[in-house]
Amino acid sequence: MNQDYYASIDKMEKANVSREYIVGWASGYLQNPKVEEQRINDAYEAGYSDGEEKNDANFSEWEGK
């Protein structure tokens, strides 16, 4: 796995980004299937979409949540 993945997760954790966003981002980045429908929320969906695009620039909206 490349260093970008780990650097992005580290950056999000240090910024106190929502755990759900980080889990969604990691799942999307790794192209894992989404979690069960009843566990999906806005933070997870946003993270998953950003992770699919390998984009770590949009997480600031989820800081401190």
Confidence of residue 1 (pLDDT cuts 50, 70, 90): low
Calculate Rg over the CA atoms of the chain. 11
CB 34 within 8 A of CB 40: yes
Residue type for position 29: Y
62 and 18 Cβ atoms separated by less than 8 Å:
yes
d(CA 41, CA 35): 10
- Tell me what percent of the residues of the chain surpass a pLDDT of 90: 92
Q: What is the pLDDT of residue 64?
A: 83
Q: Rounded mean pLDDT of the chain? A: 94
pLDDT tens readout for residues 28-44: 999 999 999 999 999 99
Q: Residue 18 above 90 pLDDT?
A: yes
pTM of the model: 0.92
Q: Where are the domains of the chain?
A: 3-62
